[in-house]
Amino acid sequence: MKTYIRRREKNDYLVVLFGAWGTDENVFVPYCTDEFDFILFYNYSADQALVLPEMKTYRKIVVIGWSLGVWAAEYLSPTTGIVPDVTIAVNGTPVPLDDHYGIPALSFEEALNNITEERMEKFYYRMFGNRRIYNLNSDKIPNRTLDSVHVEMRWLYNRIMEQKDPGFKWDYAVTSESDRIFPSENVISYWNRQKNTRQIIVPYPHYMFYKWKSYSAFISYVEKHAGRPESIKQY
């Protein structure tokens, strides 16, 4: 597991992001600004120990889980010891390997057993949604080896199969209608059943952060719009 940490002495606002499978810091760092501290967890595996900075006192701590990072945030929360004020699940659920509320098992296992250069390129293309957005975000395409993404996928698969009942509290869920990684209807259906989670549906691809200038702008948008009647759809 890898950790990226960016801190400024004056900051009293912390954003913690649990990344998706197959990603690296290139995907996330462009949306860091000097107005908040930032911790990123990614490349989940047992190859490297979890690294945590010495914590300081923050006015506000926001945890964002994106894609499989929603599950990872729950799984790793006892280890990190981070106590958030706000939690946001983005295009994922705590049960990511699930025919009804996550990625169908056959699709997940097919991906696990067929990792090639061609398939990874296709995966990143689908992550960005289409060729135009892919090209616009070419600087954010992960630079990972096939071996590293395969080790990570195997580790995730094994841990997910062992997962106990979810017990993490998610304040907000943001789901893309045009997601080409997680079936949108499954994700929306899951969060519609979580009465304590406010949901917003957006017309963006699986990777949506490019729509905002920074994570703080994204968080402000979610807190302002989530839970509005027009944001909720039944599946």
pLDDT on residue 164:
66
Quote the tokens at residue 80.
């990190």
Tens of pLDDT, residue by residue over 137-159, are: 999 999 999 999 999 999 999 99
Lowest-pLDDT range, 1-10, 63-72, 158-167?
A: 158-167
For residue 226, is pLDDT > 80? no
User: How many Cβ atoms are within 10 Å of 196's Cβ, its own excluded?
Assistant: 7
pLDDT band at residue 21 under the 50/70/90 scheme: very high
CATH code of the domain covering residue 117: 3.40.50.1820
pLDDT on residue 35:
93
Domain count, the chain: 1
DSSP 68: H
Tens of pLDDT, residue by residue over 69-112, are: 999 999 998 888 899 999 999 999 999 999 999 999 999 999 99
- CA 225, CA 228: separation in Å to the nearest integer? 6
Q: Specify which residues 174 forms β-bridges with.
A: 90, 200
User: How many Cβ atoms are within 10 Å of 106's Cβ, its own excluded?
Assistant: 9
**What is the side-by-side strand order in the sheet with 198-202?**
2-6, 37-42, 13-18, 60-66, 86-90, 172-176, 198-202
Containing structural domain, residue 74: 2-231
- CA 206, CA 220: separation in Å to the nearest integer? 19
pLDDT on residue 215:
97
Q: Are 97 and 75 in contact (CB under 8 A)?
A: no
pLDDT on residue 95:
94
User: Mapping DSSP to helix (H, G, I), strand (E, B) and coil, where does residue 18 land?
Assistant: strand
Lowest-pLDDT range, 46-55, 120-129, 133-142, 147-156?
A: 46-55
For residue 234, is pLDDT > 70? no
pLDDT on residue 14:
96
